[in-house]
Amino acid sequence: MASEHLKLFGELFSRANRTDYLPIIVVEGRGAKVRDSGGNQYIDLSASGAVMVLGYGNDELRKEIKRQVDKLIHYTYMYGMNEPALRLGEELLKISDIDEGKVLYGLSGTDAVESSLILAKAYTKRELILSYNGGFHGVFPLSADASCINLERKVCELIRCSKETICLPYPDTYRCSILRGDKDCKKMSLEILKETLEDLSKANKLPAALIAEPIQGDSGIVVPPEGYFREVARILRSYGIPLIIDEIQTGLGRTGEWFAYQYEGIKPDVVTLGKPLGGGLPISAVVGESKLMDSVPTMGLAFSLSGNPVTATAALTVINEIRKNKLLKKTKELGNYVIRELRSFMKKHELVGDVRGKGLMIGVELVKNKETKERAKNETKKVIYRAYELGAIVLSVRENVLRIQPPLTINKEELIEGINILEEAIEDVEEGKVNDEALKIVRGW
């Protein structure tokens, strides 16, 4: 049954729209667990790609969505108003700490980034964008162009994007020394930023914005050193260059704060939100300073379905539930505990080169050799497959980094159970118990 369905998926859908990790057809979910069509249950350590922040089937979310569906499924916010959209806008301004801010809604992370880049270009009347190597911001032309990640899926390799992006080195402390021969990653990255801006200023070609993930997600859960973005914000301010912080993967409590930039005590000019915002329903948002947010003419960034009252209600419920259940504090505590546990793997396991993260945004990097740090790509696929056989869903980024991003509502016992499964899977791969068949199934990206 499952193999029939999987074959149909391959035949029916464009590969541009999806990939395969596991041969699983999810039919229902509760809390941190999902059940497949064969009745098997899995702990989802991925939260469906860092989306299902409240887990599956959250009571309050289901109740609020149903209540709103019964009342009003849609009335376009483009030409009118609805109450949930209004209340959500107020909440987003409150939690993002942006003074004198405004909000716009979209449907997916990519369109939030596209909008933010258009706003910055319109406001500054400049073209160039600064970004970071490894940064991922979306798949449409502007966001793909601003993504300096080297991926097969990057559409700008295929179509002509503007190429108006300069990619700077992100302060990746695990790989800095191999890549740059310089151990002080933070200093090196800041110096290159300063030199770039000096050169651009002399050439009268300052950028419209710098866009950054406060912790890089798809590039391997790369955590910058403390204070790095504080300094970046200061440097940009001295040139009057807007800072766009892409919180699509890190936002809404994933790292233990509403937004990861709050650890740095900074206020970006623009923040992009997506993934977890709707608790699984499609809604994205851009929050930013009014002068920037109003730089595009009326309706210049309007979508017919944006500001939908059902998705806005879902987003309001996500925020309320995070607040009511003190999930920021819980995420910090659980995250500290799990990162400590996972770090012990580095001593016990040949394959585990590094463990890093903040809150419940954690990367476990698998390498073939701890000195050369060669990426253990096939071993990562085998670990993913073995973990699935043992009852846990784990995905990867950058081909060799296991991403641990469970729902924030997961309890400690479930998390321990998931981590134990992960360790068993790593052991089985190290002992050669997982054969190459797994490589045909887990395609990843």
Ligand X SMILES: Cc1ncc(COP(=O)(O)O)c(C=O)c1O
Question: Of the two residues 200 and 283, which places its CB atom closer to ligand X in the complex?
Answer: 283
Residues in contact with 258: Cβ distance below 8 Å, sequence separation at least 6, in sequence order: 95, 96, 251, 252, 322, 328
Q: Cβ atoms within 10 A of the Cβ of 395, count?
A: 24
Does 108 contact ligand X by CB under 6 A? Answer: yes
Tokens 């801010």 locate to 101
Does 131 contact ligand X by CB under 6 A? Answer: no
Stretch that binds ligand X, among 67-75, 105-113, 190-198, 223-231 (CB under 6 A): 105-113
DSSP state of 277: G
- Around 367, how many Cα atoms within 13 Å sit in the side-chain half-sphere? 17
Shortest Cβ 374–ligand X spacing (Å): 25
What are the φ and ψ backbone dihedral angles of 243, each rounded to 5 degrees? Answer: -105, 120
Stretch that binds ligand X, among 210-218, 236-244, 287-295, 310-318 (CB under 6 A): 210-218
Shortest Cβ 181–ligand X spacing (Å): 28
Which tokens belong to 302? Answer: 């309007």
Angle between helices 185-202 and 228-239 (to 10 degrees): 10
Q: Cβ atoms within 10 A of the Cβ of 304, count?
A: 12
Question: Of the two residues 89 and 217, which places its CB atom closer to ligand X in the complex?
Answer: 217
Shortest Cβ 401–ligand X spacing (Å): 14
Q: Rounded CA gap, 445 and 442, in Å?
A: 9
Considering Cα of 140, then 143, then 146, then 149, what sign does the dihedral take? negative
Tokens 């770039």 locate to 196
What are the φ and ψ backbone dihedral angles of 385, each rounded to 5 degrees? Answer: -65, -45
Stretch that binds ligand X, among 86-94, 198-206, 242-250, 365-373 (CB under 6 A): 242-250
The residue sitting closest to ligand X, measured at its beta carbon, is 109
Question: Of the two residues 31 and 363, which places its CB atom closer to ligand X in the complex?
Answer: 363
Does 293 contact ligand X by CB under 6 A? Answer: no
User: Could you say which of 33, 121, 126, 137 contacts ligand X (CB under 6 A)?
Assistant: 137
Q: Which helix (H) or strand (E) holds 230?
A: helix 228-239
Question: Reduced to 3 states, what is the DSSP secondary structure of residue 160?
Answer: coil
Question: Of the two residues 14 and 435, which places its CB atom closer to ligand X in the complex?
Answer: 14
User: Could you say which of 36, 91, 114, 213 contacts ligand X (CB under 6 A)?
Assistant: 213
Question: Reduced to 3 states, what is the DSSP secondary structure of residue 312?
Answer: helix
Does 248 contact ligand X by CB under 6 A? Answer: yes
User: Could you say which of 218, 257, 269, 354 contacts ligand X (CB under 6 A)?
Assistant: 218
Stretch that binds ligand X, among 1-9, 149-157, 192-200, 243-251 (CB under 6 A): 243-251
Does 246 contact ligand X by CB under 6 A? Answer: yes
Shortest Cβ 344–ligand X spacing (Å): 28
Does 145 contact ligand X by CB under 6 A? Answer: no
Q: Rounded CA gap, 121 and 295, in Å?
A: 9
User: Could you say which of 121, 275, 375, 386 contacts ligand X (CB under 6 A)?
Assistant: 275
Shortest Cβ 275–ligand X spacing (Å): 6
115 in the Ramachandran plot: left (φ > 0), alpha (ψ -120 to 50) or beta? alpha
Does 317 contact ligand X by CB under 6 A? Answer: no
User: Could you say which of 82, 124, 165, 249 contacts ligand X (CB under 6 A)?
Assistant: 249
Alpha carbon of 241 to those of 96, 186, 268: distances in Å?
Answer: 20, 20, 11
Length of the chain equals: 445
User: Could you say which of 105, 136, 170, 388 contacts ligand X (CB under 6 A)?
Assistant: 136
Does 113 contact ligand X by CB under 6 A? Answer: yes
Does 269 contact ligand X by CB under 6 A? Answer: no
Question: Reduced to 3 states, what is the DSSP secondary structure of residue 165?
Answer: strand
C-alpha closest to that of 415 among 57, 49, 55, 22? 55
Question: Of the two residues 276 and 353, which places its CB atom closer to ligand X in the complex?
Answer: 276
Does 280 contact ligand X by CB under 6 A? Answer: no
Which parts of this chain interact with ligand X (CB under 6 A)? 108-110, 113, 136-138, 213, 217-218, 246, 248-249, 274-275
